[in-house]
Structure 1
Amino acid sequence: MQRSPFDVEALGTGLAFAAALGDLDAALADSTTAVISAPPGTGKTTLVPAVVANRSEGRVIVTQPRRVAARAAARRLSELDGSPLGTRVGFTVRGERQVATDTRIEFVTAGVLLRRMLSDPGLEGTAAVIIDEVHERAIETDLLIGLLGEARQLRDDLAVIAMSATLDADRVAHVLGTDAAPAPVVTQTVPAHPLKERWMPSSAPRLDGRGVTRGFLDHVADVAVSSGRELFRTDRTADALVFAPGAREVSEIARRLHEKAGDIDVRELHGQMPAAEQDAVIRGRRADQPPRIIVTTSLAESSLTVPGVRLVVDTCLSRQPQRDAARGMSGLVTVPTSRSSAVQRAGRATRQGPGTVVRCVDERTYAAAPARPAPEIATTDLTDAALLLACWGTPGGAGLRLLDPLPADSLRDAVTVLRGLGAIDDDGRATDAGRELARIPTDPRLARALRDGSRIVGEQLAAEVVALLGGDARVADGDVAAAVSALRHRRDPEARRWTREVSRLRRFTPAGVPHRESPAADAVGLVIALAFPDRIGRRVDRSSHGATFLLASGTRAGVTGALADAEWLAIADVARAQGRAAAGTGAVIRAAAVIDEDDVERAAGHLLTDRVEAEFVDGRVTARRERRIGAILRSSAPVKAGTDGSGHDAVRRAIERNGLDVFRWSDAATHLRRRLALLHREIGDPWPDVSDKALLSDLESWLGPELTTLAGGTPASRIDLAPALRRLLPWPAATDFDALAPERLTVPSGSNVRITYPPSDDPTARPVVAVKLQECFGWAETPRVANGRVPVLFHLLSPAGRPLAVTDDLASFWSGPYAQVRAEMRGRYPKHPWPEDPWQAVPTRHTKNRAARG
């Protein structure tokens, strides 16, 4: 049966992008890839899927970065098409799906499509994928571009189109296509309606150690009311849009607006709202309804359109993921909005006519903001991304065409987490357990807590805790157990949304596990610890303001309230902060639960250690047997290090911690190390790296016997490192060592002068020979070491041993500067030879009389 096409002409009525459809048809006639750049509100999200569907036999999938945008776009297109939602046009987002077997266009979030591709790499039955809002640089979108590039190698008929409001089109075109044949670019611009800019900075600071200040929120509400009333007096059909960084600030500003502007319809729009309330805001209002002030997060910047807006009030603040490498934590932080995002926000006021933007900062602050937001791949935790790539068969994204590579430090941390979960092997490939975790649509750590926690505490409680940690529900006073208990008895929208998520997650729990009704605090803590074993914390300090906990990762964080009385905590959320709550640690615990010490061992078995640890005290090794959970010391007792394997290993770890300065380096050891360093620098392999970092990373290969000697009680001062370093000499190349880096140099007088090699950590210094000038008469060719690569630097000395000249070109010295040196020195040292012609003089280390006696 032939399917009826979409009426593109009717869909395009009043939409600016309709003028670019000819260019789009031409691009798709010659290529299965394309890049589309057009401003927000021009209709590309409506028209492009319909055009592509009419050209295709299979389904067209359109990705959006947010659930609300996917639902809204699907609903809008189905309404314009005149078909019920879920028939010709449908959507799939986390926890919600309206799609039929014959659906032509399916809107999804990028995350949904990524997981779909793990089970269906070729996307069978899909004719095209349209990736919308690429400019937001969400990590799922970036990864999707890479995976689709490989999918197209399996299916050259799969069309891939990238769309954006503001885009580095050429860069994306090269990634979607090839270096030789980039994807064609379709650009649509529209005349901009006039925009009036106003600047109304707050006298109160925008941010402090706890986040957005109350004074600034008051100011934003006042600006919104005054500016809104000014607009509504002349245009009752217009609405106002207020941009806030996050859902909390949205609610705070909306509450203030309700108090200040009772005659204005105040609405909220953010990702934590029920879908029906979101949709009601996006649909707009009737002309007979009062004007609206809509307070929203960044989701209204470009990924969806709110009709009727002629005024934008911008806090110029955004919430973005940020990784704290030093503390091994990540989370959302409030930062100044980039200028490109601020332009996107302001553009919402001019979509239908002239508009106004009021920025709650001064022009100088605005100009100091970053030009564009950082790609999420550069700032966020990469654990989920790393598991997905491992399951795809490209660990770390190796071989994928990505807009930006995964940062090495973040990727390394993610790999460490995944290995701790047993999700990847030593080669970075996904294990069976990892693939099982990847099938659960949540962060891998939470997936592990759901899977393993269900078997221990029951599927209901495990799903409840994971739904709370993975969702948007707030945790009052940071107490996750109390929050779970409260949500069970509440009937508000937040609780209903949490309940739906619990039901969804229970579908992914192992079959046949017990049900447990009571949300006991220790059981909640166990589930959290299964997800975040490195965040198990033990209290190390208590004061009237709260307590400080040492985490297994080594981070310290503060907490207040009832949780401060706990001995052990399983911590789900810890973030950088200041103030009393941080207890002087620079970090605050935002969500946690009490955990029993026995459950600590159950959840963090891979972090448990029971071993001898050594320290150097006055040059001698002292040892203790320590039981730890990561960085947390549970018990410690003095023992003898001994010469067995445990003592040997303990000494090695102590040297790795303290460095090589625990030893007294002899002249012979220092000289040998410098000679080796020069050859490594100038020749490379096979000559070893002898930097501190290299030596400490491979102590066993050169210091093995000495480690055992130290463990047996010998002081470090009695260890001669020269024989140990000689173990690093590469064979058979070592037979040439003395020729390549000789200890001494024979000068024309017959003296064997020691060569002073440069320090191993100074890559620019040269080997030096300090020798009496008279011993080098007639020497024309400057000697070289390292197989002729490095000339020796001569310090030519006076008879008193003071430097007269420094040169690495003896021939030039005798022919030039020597005459000046002779004029100055022969009167001062008359007993020593200063011939006019140094080329013909006999080199000597003696005075003239002594030389004459022979």
Structure 2
Amino acid sequence: MPWSERLGEVDLPVRAGLPALTDALRGRGAAVLWAPPGSGKTTLVPPAVADLGPGRVVVTQPRRIAARAAARRLASLVGQPLGESVGYAVRGDRRSSAATRVEFVTTGVLLRRLQRDPDLPGVAAVVLDEVHERALDADLLLALLVDVRENLRDDLRLVAMSATLEAQRFADLLAADVVEVPGALHRVETVYAAPPPGVLPYDERGPTPAFLDHVAAIVRRALAERDGDVLVFLPGVAEVDGVARRLGGSDAEVHRLHGRLPAADQDRALTAGDRRRVVVSTAVAESSLTVPGVRVVVDAGLSREPRTDHRRGLAGLVTVRVSRAGAEQRAGRAGREAPGTAYRCWGEAEHAHLAAHPEPEIAVADLTGFALELAAWGSPDGRGLALPDPPPAPALAAARSTLADLGAVDDAGAVTERGRAIARVPTDPRLARALLDGAPVVGPRRAAEVVALLAEDVRAPGGDLGAALRQVRRGGSGSPAWKAAVDQLVRSAPPGEPGERLTDDLAVGAVVALAHPDRIARRRPGGSSYLMVGGTGAVLPRGEAALAGAEWLAVADVDRRPGQRDATIRSAAPIDEGLALEAAAARWTEDDEVTWSSGRVVARRVTRLGAIELAAATLAEPPAERVGAAVREGLRQEGLAVLPWTDAARALRARMDFLYRTLGAPWPDVADEALAASVETWLGPELARVRGTRDLRRIDVLAALRRLLPWPEAGRLDELAPERLAVPSGSAVRVDYDAEQPVLAVRLQETFGWAETPRLADGRVPVLLHLLSPARRPVAVTADLASFWAQGYPQVRSELRGRYPKHAWPEDPWTAPPTRGVRRV
């Protein structure tokens, strides 16, 4: 019986667009369906596509909970048990059979199938749901499927379904038509409910307790003012738990809904009951899921998005404002079944300033898994693939560097056999590496347990991952999902011994260290803080005593907030130095280091694990070039004043500087920056004997400077920039080259009869004459001696001859004989 007959009584808005959709698929083989949330896309489109011909229709969902719920709903509508005509496959859980025609899967599951066999045998069509969410896996899957259609399977039908008006963008990528279904969602009234003055929605630690109080108060207000069940949107599991606790004692049943819950608890939250309900949810309820009975939405207005510090290799989630598109999608949950109300926990004026759409995950997320998928596909840089947005070059480079460290790609970025083995493990590449390399050390089962612990993000009490492992083994929070993940991972683990020589705590630490070798940390000497292999400092939260005092830690989760010097360790396990060295063997180095420190050259042979110094020994005979580099750095830090500058050295430097400024090359630049940069050239072999400022002060700077003199031009040094000039009295007076223009300070009486101002540097620069009184004080400054004799001298003579009667003050300085001392009587 065709699906259309079995679902004939299901009247949803999208039904009106199904004829146009199937026509587009018969024509071009691809289509983009735009329809608002709640219009029935997920329920009615896959059966309509299945009616086009034989073969399985695979429908992707961004989350496991959505895939299971969509399959369960469609199976109930056709009146069959799950696993017959309708099935699902998610990580660690599958309900499908050879008879399954419509299979709901997560994007990750289909990516792995596609990598194993790009032909997708038995699959007639793929329906990509919620493409507007711009999840990283979804963007990549769309690009790979377009590549398959163009090069392998032109008969493979593709449908991309979007709930936002960006549908044309995806249509261009798929070379497809857009089918629009306006939909008939019920009217949703919007109520803005801003928090009280002074209450911040979130800070660097996440949503504030006062704001969660406000959200809970709005939920109680909604229960009092409106009928129907209430769906509450919060950014994360901790906030879901916090608001659920705050609603204790209300008349309604309070259900939590998030991806870490056991499937049975998720099902209860998605099933209408006899009593009024409040469903407190993360973003899992934004799309694909229908929570029956909901007439009211309370939206906290916050979202969690990935952010990565690519320089330090620290990835995590941050709290941000929801986008306008996200807020509209959340509000639409209230109008799926009847008119409803959306309470927004922010002001109407603030709404206009929200971003129009969320950031695509490719722009902000860690790209290591994405880069491995590209490499395994044979396109390491993604060039030629129909990606909605290209990956940012720095993030992709960081990801490829990580993969190279894992041995997953070669120097050209092509996937290795080890990389293919890592890609076959259904988890992040770092965790896959930890499973493959950890199984022989701690045993396959324990390795799988720890990897599942990290993959499922099980919260560690006091940050202690060893305690978290013991907790989930006993059936604590998160254990159902964890157990399912363990069973799946064990099948991917290589064989090995149980690894009983290690305690559980050390086994956890070993696997975490293999997953995140850059986060292996050692306690700093004399303190409580740690230094990680990657170079970031880290501290344990105050009051967390479980790990305090451990010399070495394998850190699984760490974040570094703005303004903090060190990152904060959120979860870790102890390890010993031997395990640390094994896990981070690629970061082990032994280098000779010659540096300038505290006024001296320090030469050491240093053994490090990344940024962590393990051992050091004095280097007796460091290479001269390394010493020179260290001294250059010392001179840069402390300045050339640490050298023993004699008067003769300063004078030569000033003359050379004058010629460089006046004539240029080949006369050398002897400014501070230039001398510091060429220290090996002019200080020469003397550097090898330098170990500190005391040795620097023994250097013959005058001789060192002379090494910079250019030959044969240096033969004219005394002609171009003489150290002294002969004056009419017969004296040889020193020229001062420290100023911009050379200065000759000479007593006026010694210059009588000197008609022309002397010029230097082949006549280019006149000397600036400082004419002195008998007391050697300047009475005139001139570079034009002739003008001074004619105009300035008569006034000087008038003022000074009475004060210095024993000195010559002739009326005619042009012809008067120059004198060195007092005149003869």
- Paired with 1:606 and 1:532, the residues of 2 have a C-alpha distance of 12
- Paired with 2:137 and 2:171, the residues of 1 have a C-alpha distance of 18
Match of 1:184 in 2: 177
Amino acid at match of 1:637: A
Q: Matched residue of 1:426: which SS?
A: coil
CA displacement, residues 730-788 of structure 1 (integer Å, 9 cap, x when unaligned): xxxxxxxxxxxxxxxxxxxxxxxxxxxxxxxxxxxxxxxxxxxxxxxxxxxxxxxxxxx
Amino acid at match of 1:268: R
Cα deviation for residue 514 of structure 1 reads: 2.9
Matched, 1:588 2:568: yes
Amino acid at match of 2:568: V
Q: Matched residue of 1:564: which SS?
A: coil
Amino acid at match of 1:379: V
Match of 1:436 in 2: 421
- Paired with 1:117 and 1:395, the residues of 2 have a C-alpha distance of 16
Match of 2:532 in 1: 551
Q: Matched residue of 1:511: which SS?
A: coil
Cα deviation for residue 193 of structure 1 reads: 3.0
Match of 1:253 in 2: 243
Cα deviation for residue 627 of structure 1 reads: 1.3
Matched, 1:242 2:232: yes
Return the match for 2:34 from 1, 23, 37: 37
Residues 585 and 132 of structure 1, relative CA distance in 2, 3 Å threshold:
same
Q: Matched residue of 1:283: which SS?
A: coil
User: After the TM superposition, which residues 753-764 of structure 1 pair with which residues of structure 2 at under 5 Å, given as runs?
Assistant: none
Which is further off, 213-222 or 617-626? 617-626
CA displacement, residues 390-419 of structure 1 (integer Å, 9 cap, x when unaligned): 111111312211001111111111111111
Given that residues 439 and 496 in structure 2 are in contact (C-alpha distance below 8 angstroms), is that contact kept between their aligned partners in structure 1?
no
Which is further off, 657-666 or 599-608? 657-666
Given that residues 225 and 260 in structure 1 are in contact (C-alpha distance below 8 angstroms), is that contact kept between their aligned partners in structure 2?
no
- Paired with 1:473 and 1:669, the residues of 2 have a C-alpha distance of 73
- Paired with 1:313 and 1:482, the residues of 2 have a C-alpha distance of 36
Which is further off, 275-284 or 404-413? 275-284
Q: Matched residue of 2:492: which SS?
A: coil
Matched, 1:475 2:465: no
- Paired with 2:287 and 2:637, the residues of 1 have a C-alpha distance of 56
Match of 1:227 in 2: 222
Q: Matched residue of 2:553: which SS?
A: strand
- TM-score norm. by structure 2 comes to 0.76
Superposition CA RMSD, Å: 3.8
Residues 639 and 429 of structure 1, relative CA distance in 2, 3 Å threshold:
same
Given that residues 220 and 315 in structure 1 are in contact (C-alpha distance below 8 angstroms), is that contact kept between their aligned partners in structure 2?
yes
- Paired with 1:32 and 1:295, the residues of 2 have a C-alpha distance of 40
Q: Matched residue of 1:398: which SS?
A: coil
Given that residues 33 and 184 in structure 1 are in contact (C-alpha distance below 8 angstroms), is that contact kept between their aligned partners in structure 2?
yes
User: After the TM superposition, which residues 67-146 of structure 1 pair with which residues of structure 2 at under 5 Å, given as runs?
Assistant: 67-146=64-143
Amino acid at match of 2:457: D
Which is further off, 427-436 or 351-360? 351-360
Return the match for 1:156 from 154, 157, 160: 154
- Paired with 1:517 and 1:188, the residues of 2 have a C-alpha distance of 63
Cα deviation for residue 358 of structure 1 reads: 1.1
Given that residues 554 and 631 in structure 1 are in contact (C-alpha distance below 8 angstroms), is that contact kept between their aligned partners in structure 2?
yes
Cα deviation for residue 524 of structure 1 reads: 1.7
Residues 622 and 505 of structure 1, relative CA distance in 2, 3 Å threshold:
same
Given that residues 443 and 496 in structure 2 are in contact (C-alpha distance below 8 angstroms), is that contact kept between their aligned partners in structure 1?
no
Match of 1:25 in 2: 22
Matched, 1:535 2:516: no
Cα deviation for residue 661 of structure 1 reads: 12
Matched, 1:206 2:201: yes
- Paired with 1:36 and 1:47, the residues of 2 have a C-alpha distance of 12
- Paired with 2:369 and 2:385, the residues of 1 have a C-alpha distance of 17
Cα deviation for residue 332 of structure 1 reads: 1.3
Matched, 1:397 2:378: no
- Paired with 1:617 and 1:266, the residues of 2 have a C-alpha distance of 63
Return the match for 1:57 from 24, 39, 54: 54
Residues 32 and 660 of structure 1, relative CA distance in 2, 3 Å threshold:
farther
Given that residues 200 and 360 in structure 1 are in contact (C-alpha distance below 8 angstroms), is that contact kept between their aligned partners in structure 2?
yes
CA displacement, residues 508-564 of structure 1 (integer Å, 9 cap, x when unaligned): 111243353974322221111111110011112777xxx321111111121042323
Match of 1:843 in 2: none
Which is further off, 606-615 or 619-628? 619-628
Q: Matched residue of 1:240: which SS?
A: strand
Return the match for 2:549 from 544, 565, 581: 565
Given that residues 70 and 288 in structure 2 are in contact (C-alpha distance below 8 angstroms), is that contact kept between their aligned partners in structure 1?
no
- Paired with 1:330 and 1:537, the residues of 2 have a C-alpha distance of 17
Residues 32 and 568 of structure 1, relative CA distance in 2, 3 Å threshold:
same
Residues 44 and 667 of structure 1, relative CA distance in 2, 3 Å threshold:
farther
Cα deviation for residue 307 of structure 1 reads: 1.9
- Paired with 1:275 and 1:339, the residues of 2 have a C-alpha distance of 31
- Paired with 1:27 and 1:713, the residues of 2 have a C-alpha distance of 82
Return the match for 2:355 from 370, 375, 389: 370
Given that residues 92 and 485 in structure 2 are in contact (C-alpha distance below 8 angstroms), is that contact kept between their aligned partners in structure 1?
yes
Match of 1:457 in 2: 442
Residues 122 and 659 of structure 1, relative CA distance in 2, 3 Å threshold:
farther
CA displacement, residues 629-676 of structure 1 (integer Å, 9 cap, x when unaligned): 111122233324533xxx7579779989999999999989999xx99x
CA displacement, residues 703-744 of structure 1 (integer Å, 9 cap, x when unaligned): 9999997984579999999x99xxxxxxxxxxxxxxxxxxxx
Cα deviation for residue 507 of structure 1 reads: 1.1
Return the match for 1:10 from 7, 14, 26: 7
Amino acid at match of 2:509: G
Match of 1:682 in 2: none
Residues 703 and 284 of structure 1, relative CA distance in 2, 3 Å threshold:
farther
Match of 1:836 in 2: none
- Paired with 2:161 and 2:617, the residues of 1 have a C-alpha distance of 64
Return the match for 1:642 from 615, 622, 643: 622
Cα deviation for residue 66 of structure 1 reads: 0.3
Identical residues among aligned pairs (%): 46
Given that residues 571 and 593 in structure 1 are in contact (C-alpha distance below 8 angstroms), is that contact kept between their aligned partners in structure 2?
yes
Matched, 1:426 2:411: yes
**If you compute each CA radius of gyration, which structure gives the higher value, 1 or 2?**
2
Given that residues 301 and 344 in structure 1 are in contact (C-alpha distance below 8 angstroms), is that contact kept between their aligned partners in structure 2?
yes
Match of 1:267 in 2: 255
Matched, 1:279 2:267: yes
Q: Matched residue of 1:196: which SS?
A: strand
Q: Matched residue of 1:565: which SS?
A: coil
Residues 520 and 223 of structure 1, relative CA distance in 2, 3 Å threshold:
same
Match of 1:608 in 2: 588
- Paired with 1:211 and 1:467, the residues of 2 have a C-alpha distance of 25
Residues 11 and 63 of structure 1, relative CA distance in 2, 3 Å threshold:
farther
- Paired with 2:658 and 2:582, the residues of 1 have a C-alpha distance of 52
Q: Matched residue of 1:260: which SS?
A: coil
Return the match for 1:335 from 310, 315, 320: 320
Match of 2:650 in 1: none
Given that residues 613 and 654 in structure 1 are in contact (C-alpha distance below 8 angstroms), is that contact kept between their aligned partners in structure 2?
no
- Paired with 2:347 and 2:130, the residues of 1 have a C-alpha distance of 29
Given that residues 24 and 177 in structure 2 are in contact (C-alpha distance below 8 angstroms), is that contact kept between their aligned partners in structure 1?
yes
Cα deviation for residue 185 of structure 1 reads: 0.6
Given that residues 641 and 711 in structure 1 are in contact (C-alpha distance below 8 angstroms), is that contact kept between their aligned partners in structure 2?
no
- Paired with 1:661 and 1:184, the residues of 2 have a C-alpha distance of 69
CA displacement, residues 425-474 of structure 1 (integer Å, 9 cap, x when unaligned): 00001111111111110111111111111101111221111111110321
Given that residues 111 and 141 in structure 2 are in contact (C-alpha distance below 8 angstroms), is that contact kept between their aligned partners in structure 1?
yes
Amino acid at match of 1:250: V
- TM-score norm. by structure 1 comes to 0.73
- Paired with 1:105 and 1:669, the residues of 2 have a C-alpha distance of 86
Cα deviation for residue 94 of structure 1 reads: 0.3
Matched, 1:415 2:394: no
Cα deviation for residue 158 of structure 1 reads: 1.1
Given that residues 594 and 622 in structure 2 are in contact (C-alpha distance below 8 angstroms), is that contact kept between their aligned partners in structure 1?
no
Q: Matched residue of 2:239: which SS?
A: helix
Which is further off, 99-108 or 613-622? 613-622
Unaligned 5+ runs, structure 2: 642-652, 666-672, 709-763, 769-786, 791-825
User: After the TM superposition, which residues 715-730 of structure 1 pair with which residues of structure 2 at under 5 Å, given as runs?
Assistant: none
- Paired with 1:461 and 1:108, the residues of 2 have a C-alpha distance of 28
- Paired with 1:184 and 1:141, the residues of 2 have a C-alpha distance of 20
Which is further off, 316-325 or 191-200? 191-200
